[in-house]
Amino acid sequence: MTALPPAREPEDLAEIRRAVRALCEGFPGEYWRALDRERAYPTAFVQALTEAGFLAALIPEDYGGSGLSLRAAAVIMEEIQAAGCNGAACHAQMYVMNTVLRHGSAEQKGRYLPKIASGELRLQAFGVTEPTSGTDTLSLRTTAVREGDDYVVSGQKIWTSRAEHSDLMLLLARTTPREHVAKRTEGLSVFLVDMRQALGNGLEIRPIRTMMNHATTEVFFDRMRVPAANLIGEEGQGFRYILSGMNAERILIAAECVGDAKWFIAKASGYARERVLFERPIGQNQGVQFPIAKAYAQMRAAELMVREAAELYETGANVGAEANMAKMLAADASWAAADMCVQTHGGFGFAEEYDVERKFRETRLYQVAPISTNMILSYLAEHVLGLPRSY
């Protein structure tokens, strides 16, 4: 499959793109189809990305990382998807690590970041969402109560992806009851949980089988003890800490969606050029070529929004609006391209060997996660357009 011509970008980013593409060539469709059948984790792929330094892109060089920009990290994740691979197996390592880097103590950063950069430790799990609160994060019920040198954690998280394949989890829990805080955003704290020690000692992980191979789980805490030394930043300020990480998450996942859209467009274009019916390639028919062209235009628009959000993020500005718009527009572009690609392939779009149905299932997730379209629209209405809060 011929890749789409890249947008104009600096040579250093183009070089990263070529390197990622070369790595991904070692993991063709057959590799991902085999994993998909068994719902297995792509250990070899994640290891290859780690050894190449791509998963340590945002970790500073002082801690053994690559010290790259968020824009460069977005290029990495986009290219993984555009090559037909699946970055969801490891993308959390980039944005979860960001909370430790920005708000962790010097001791915590020195203890964990070099090992995360080298691959000795995996920080893949992000425990935030709960069954009863969903995206209403401020209503979460998992508690962490200080007892001597530990916090004792009780509660439940859901959709905690990659928990079975991670050594560490970034956990958001309530340390002060809601009725005892002045602001709704206070009273939540962030902890770095060593799951190797906690598993079987108050921590239980149960896998959830889903329509795509996403390695997601529900996690239960029954008086799980976390050393107080593993508290990130100040007690009660955790919600503020994870917000910047969530913006990075949305930008990186938006980049993945752009990559998915590029894969679908390239796949559909190639098929439309080669598939001959009624003695002519189907791509000669406007009914086939127009949806492909429209998907391309939609993808390029989303690509520009992702680029702007990433560049603004690097200035330290508040990018809530830009990150949300990038995620929404890119998710819409990838889903439109996915639907178009299936339609272009006709019956073959449902055949496993073409990889279209697998990627179709994978990209559908981003209409819902990590934040739903309705929540994004509510944010824009309130915080950008000045409309009354709707929830």
Give the mean pLDDT of 133-142.
90
pLDDT at 215 over 80: yes
Per-residue confidence (pLDDT) for residue 135, from 0 to 100: 84
Give the tens place of pLDDT for each residue, 326-341: 999 999 999 999 999 9
- Summarised one tens digit per residue, pLDDT across range 94-119 is 888 889 999 999 999 999 999 999 99
Collapse the DSSP code of 89 into the 3-class scheme (helix H, G, I; strand E, B; otherwise coil) and give the result.
helix
Mean pLDDT of the chain: 95
- pLDDT tens by residue, 43-87: 999 999 999 999 999 999 999 999 999 999 999 999 999 999 999
- Rounded Cα distance, 60 and 67, in Å: 4
pLDDT of residue 6: 60
Q: How confident is the model at residue 5 (pLDDT cuts 50, 70, 90)?
A: low
Residue 144 has pLDDT above 80, yes or no: yes
pLDDT in tens, 233-258: 999 999 999 987 889 999 999 999 99
pLDDT at 307 over 90: yes
Torsion of CA 335, 40, 71, 78, to 10 degrees: -40
Which residues are within 8 A (CB) of 311 and not within 5 positions of it... i.e. 6 or more apart?
Answer: 71
pLDDT digits (tens, 9 = 90+) for 321-376: 999 999 999 999 999 999 999 999 999 999 999 999 999 999 999 999 998 999 99
- Tell me the average pLDDT across 298-316: 96
Distance CA 179, CA 187 (A): 10
- DSSP characters for 308-370? HHHHHHTTT---HHHHHHHHHHHHHHHHHHHHHHHHHHGGGGG-GGGSHHHHHHHHHGGGTSS
**Residues 99, 101, 103, 106: what is their CA dihedral angle, to the nearest 10 degrees?**
150
Whether residue 309 is predicted with pLDDT greater than 80 in this model: the reply is yes
pLDDT at 122: 94
Average pLDDT value for residue range 261-281: 97
CB-based contact 355:31 (threshold 8 Å): no
3-state helix, strand and coil shares in percent for the chain, rounded to the nearest 5: 55, 15, 30
pLDDT of residue 293: 98
Please name the residues in contact with 13: beta carbons below 8 A apart, sequence gap of 6 or more. Answer: 71, 72, 75
What is the model's pLDDT at position 177? Answer: 94
What integer is the mean pLDDT of 158-179?
Answer: 95
Structure tokens at 59: 């970790």
- pTM of the predicted structure, to 2 decimals: 0.94
